[in-house]
Structure 1
């Protein structure tokens, strides 16, 4: 599980990444129809697919830097010897512009999707609860399989657990959703960072007896070819990592969902054409506030590498501005996409990403499959052998292939393969997968 943002240094084994992985999150535009069946393509909001496509590349890059490449588990002296100036510049830029933003966008889309499901359920007089619970249970099961079979950093089961909290807010509307979102995203994280609180929580969270030895064991499993040993270490690491963050992580996810729920209930994205002045202001303020706040964590890391130790109280004080910066910059990114989609040339370019966004779950899981093959010992074994900045061209190639695959797949099928499985599990019956044959093909 790889959340973004700053984490308590004393209680975390590693610097917190973003996961972003990803949608890993549910497809927010695929809410239930009045008959509780999957949403048709004609009902989709293309801007959301494009946003999800952008987020998925951020997920891939952010997860590749510390996790797939195993940089987070390498011996410190080896890592420092392998890091040159180009790597340091690349890591700073990833920290500033990428880390945390993809997860923020995907959690926003998750919450937006819930609000659409709720609106459809209310329109038919049915309860959204049974369908929502089935969707989350199916997602959690897929996530557990992901951890055991491919990669420890799965986000799906965490999304599913936090997603249950959305049911408590299904009657809340308007700016109260934003207020609750800010409270849940900021307060638990800041409170648990207070030294006396973190010290009290530490005995209650699972942790390995020796962190350094455990990291070495994880690195050995990643670079080795014993798949059973790798699965065991993945399960242990997922437990330790998420268990360590749990006191604030699940409320934090739920808080971010609520921003999306606000957007869904106000239909601000669906009615973007009538709200362009709002998106222009959001772009300006989001970039201004976001760049300042998002710089806190990368600058702190630079200072730490140079041996500068910041006071613990300053670290706690900076948590909230850093989180606000992440959310603000993410909002600026979203506003930029919405505005640029109004320009024909930009729209044509962005639409290339839409198929990847439509099959986000398949894309996310596919990233784990391809990247573990590239870096792990059971595949090409690149872990520990590449500079950080090399991950940029590597991930661009991987994502480019995923774009081609998504276009080819969706030219014949309604959903991505994992989306089809998820829907079939949710509705308790096999969903139609193939697109109807075109008339010219039947002639």
Structure 2
């Protein structure tokens, strides 16, 4: 029997699978622009494009609802997953820290391979590092967690303020801006004319530079991991009145605050560019949790939500798959479609890859129950602890 928002009879929370799939598709909605125009990284952080064309407005509108929002949603989902694994470890008497740190090492290795051979904007390494930190914190009392969340938020806000000052200065310093744009043009050359091996060499040669965002969001990740843990403990995903009330508040406050805050991206002067992606985006992410729960509880768009659910059950495999397909479509060693200037072509590629993910996820779930990377990860992560769980 499958329920609408809580825990079904097999112990799996359907809403979480749907949210995870929704987040994977939304992540592609951000990354697809990086594939289509490898040298336009700044466009993900600033929606104040040149001109007043329809393409510019469509790009900006999509960015308001995608850029950073699904990064935040995935981070919250990882926190929820950590809490569920923690409860299971206590229930079956497994060594929590050894078990979870081992799984995060495997996730980090997956992310490293993904970074080297597929996509330099991988988030898995950042999640793995954050997961190891939070694994030591999950057993703390609620008041302690609250103080840690406040500390992580304060450090993140302070860092964001400093980066915003540098960001605004960059746009006002013509020489510095020209130098940075030159670096991005070199990136475009690598991906639009370089071979596959040259692209691997590029990612390895500038490893730390390309890991800049992954490092800078660590404290935001810690906050959102703990926020996900607190949501789960509060009963936000239970199929009862309390759970429904929490989800309703998430939708009202998340969308009610998140949309106007993210619209600040259109304020001239680039003052809110970084805040929209690294501060206001998670607010809208919370609204998405409530909105998807609202749709699910009313049995709306059932076919589409089932497709999200299938992708959610194969999230790791689909995340890597979408980036492999994006590489094949746009990079020089594949079909070489980049750079794509037409916004409709980029959206079309997003839809095409999403459809492929839906089909592949459906096949894997029906045949095997999980995706191939999930199967490998489950086998490797449980292997050292099999004797302890008997």
TM more than 0.5:
yes
> Residue 46 of structure 1: which of 5, 8, 14 is its match?
14
**Number of the residue aligned with 1:418:** 373
> Residue 359 of structure 1: which of 300, 314, 318 is its match?
314
TM-superposed CA distance for 1:71, in Å, is: 4.5
Change (3 A) 1:349 1:191: closer
**Number of the residue aligned with 1:117:** 85
Are 2:31 and 1:55 equivalent residues in the alignment?
no
TM-score, structure 2 normalization: 0.83
**Cα separation, 2, equivalents of 1:71 and 1:58:** 21
> Residue 251 of structure 2: which of 270, 283, 295 is its match?
283
> Residue 251 of structure 1: which of 212, 219, 234 is its match?
219
Residues 155-234 of structure 1: matches in 2 within 5 Å? Answer: 155-174=123-142, 177=145, 180-191=148-159, 193-194=161-162, 211-234=180-203
TM-superposed CA distance for 1:126, in Å, is: 3.4
**Cα separation, 1, equivalents of 2:164 and 2:359:** 51
**Cα separation, 2, equivalents of 1:82 and 1:381:** 26
**Number of the residue aligned with 1:13:** none
Q: What secondary structure is seen at the aligned counterpart in 2 of 1:344?
A: coil
**Cα separation, 2, equivalents of 1:244 and 1:360:** 22
TM-score, structure 1 normalization: 0.74
Q: What secondary structure is seen at the aligned counterpart in 1 of 2:139?
A: coil
**Cα separation, 2, equivalents of 1:90 and 1:98:** 12
Change (3 A) 1:83 1:384: farther
* Structure 1, gaps ≥5 residues long: 1-39, 200-209, 304-308, 432-443
Change (3 A) 1:176 1:337: farther
**Cα separation, 1, equivalents of 2:281 and 2:313:** 25
**Number of the residue aligned with 2:343:** 388
Are 2:109 and 1:141 equivalent residues in the alignment?
yes
Change (3 A) 1:83 1:390: farther
TM-superposed CA distance for 1:345, in Å, is: 3.8
Q: How many residues align?
A: 364
TM-superposed CA distance for 1:410, in Å, is: 1.4
**Number of the residue aligned with 1:101:** 69
Native 8 Å contact 2:130 2:218 kept in 1: yes
Native 8 Å contact 1:108 1:260 kept in 2: yes
Native 8 Å contact 1:178 1:262 kept in 2: no
Change (3 A) 1:144 1:83: farther
Task: Compare relative contact order (CA 8 Å, sep 6+) and give the higher one, 1 or 2.
Answer: 2
Greater fraction of residues in helix: 2
Change (3 A) 1:264 1:214: same
The answer to which of 175-184 and 374-383 deviates more is: 175-184
